[in-house]
Structure 1
Amino acid sequence: MIVCHCRHITDRDIHSAIDWMRAADPATIITPGKVYRALGKAADCGGCMPLFLSTMRANDNTGVPMQLRGLRRGQQEGAEYEGRRQGHRVP
């Protein structure tokens, strides 16, 4: 099925690119931009983006690798907060 008419991208192209990226680097986070780059193309009008994303989500290899899940949560729980104090605003 053709997903993007502007760039002539099919669902098979998207699935092949995702499978190739996962095989090349099991720890990578797969994004639409990376899929476009793997195909040697770039988004044009963006009209295909909803279908492009749903095609990506249908692939089992797009999940976040286990070793990368929960990193943000883990950093906040175990580390001391280094941001501004709550009273940093001028009244």
Structure 2
Amino acid sequence: MIICHCQNITDSDIHAAIDWMRRSDTDTLITPGKIYRALGKAADCGSCMPLFLATMRSSAALEIPAELTGLRKGAAATGRD
């Protein structure tokens, strides 16, 4: 499915870029900008961003590591944010 019509980016492109980045560096912070750069493209109008982010979030390679799960809850309990 085409996610970004301006740059002709598909959901498969996004998942492949995420998988490549995760294999290259398991600790890398993956952002939409990094995905665009990995694909050799740049964001244009931005209307795809909600669908782009939803596609990113659906990637298994983007899951939060177990040791980081619940950190926000701990910060809220201590009054720190």
TM range (shorter): 0.7 to 0.9
Moved beyond 6 Å, runs of 4+:
none
Mapped to 1, the partners of 2:44 and 2:34 lie a distance apart of 15
Considering only CA atoms, is the larger Rg found in Structure 1 or Structure 2? 1
- TM-score, with length taken from structure 1: 0.70
Secondary structure of residue in 2 paired with 1:33: helix
Q: Which runs of 5+ in 2 are unaligned?
A: none
Matches within 5 A, 1:1-91: 1-65=1-65, 69=68, 70=71
- TM-score, with length taken from structure 2: 0.78
Secondary structure of residue in 1 paired with 2:28: coil
Secondary structure of residue in 2 paired with 1:26: coil
Q: Which runs of 5+ in 1 are unaligned?
A: 78-91
RMSD of the alignment, in Å?
A: 1.7
- Percent identity over paired residues: 62
